[in-house]
């Protein structure tokens, strides 16, 4: 069995733009996050970071079990605790890229873009979501993809740094 350790603080720094989501172009509600093959988050949830009460309320109103909610509360983070059991997650973990309007793990209608990540030894997926401004979603779905989005936002150099790669 092979164990790989990744510095979660560096991954979160890259995925959140140093908790500067709005300044990084994600507006008031945009979020970018990673999930693993167990469909659990591998990076920080913006809503849990900015509004824990609102986050837990959404879990409760969207049918999460008390055990699921307690697991996230105990961990104090969505990382490795929060499941992302959505159609988009299934698609991304099956190797497909996509974009469109769908429900996210909190039961919200979002503009989402997703793709599998090509990281040696890992079976992860990346998601970019926006909850606000539904009037522009139709325009934004043309040509958007999380890999391009993140490359333009956080850059692949940031991912290289987060994972300790030299970029070669």
- The residue with tokens 């979160």 is 12
* Residues 27, 130 contacting (CB under 8 angstroms): yes
Class of CATH domain 8-163: alpha beta
> Which range among 11-15, 78-82, 131-135, 136-140 shows the weakest confidence by mean pLDDT?
136-140
| pTM: predicted TM-score of the whole model, two decimal places | 0.71
Q: How far is CA 114 from the centre of its chain?
A: 9
88-111 confidence digits (pLDDT tens): 999 999 999 998 888 999 998 888
Report pLDDT digits (tens) over 7-27: 666 665 666 665 666 676 666
Q: CA–CA separation, 35 vs 78, rounded Å? A: 10
Token pair belonging to 129: 């979501």
Nearest to 106 by CA among 146, 150, 69: 69
- Residue 114 and residue 146 in contact, taking contact as beta carbons nearer than 8 Å: yes
């Amino acid at each position: 069995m092979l164990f790989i350790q990744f510095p979660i603080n560096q991954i979160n720094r890259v995925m959140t733009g140093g908790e500067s989501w709005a300044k990084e172009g994600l507006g008031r509600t945009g979020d970018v996050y990673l999930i693993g093959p167990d469909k659990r988050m591998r990076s920080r949830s913006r809503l849990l970071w900015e509004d824990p009460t609102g986050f837990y309320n959404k879990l409760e109103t969207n049918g999460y079990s008390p055990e699921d909610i307690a697991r996230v509360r105990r961990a104090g983070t969505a990382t490795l605790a929060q499941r992302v059991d959505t159609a988009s997650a299934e698609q991304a973990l099956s190797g497909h890229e996509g974009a469109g309007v769908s429900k996210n793990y909190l039961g919200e209608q979002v503009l989402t873009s997703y793709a599998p990540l090509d990281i040696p030894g890992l079976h992860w997926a990346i998601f970019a979501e926006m909850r606000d401004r539904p009037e522009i979603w139709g325009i934004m779905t043309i040509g958007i993809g999380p890999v391009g989005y993140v490359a333009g936002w956080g850059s692949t150099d940031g991912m290289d740094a987060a994972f300790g790669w030299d970029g070669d």
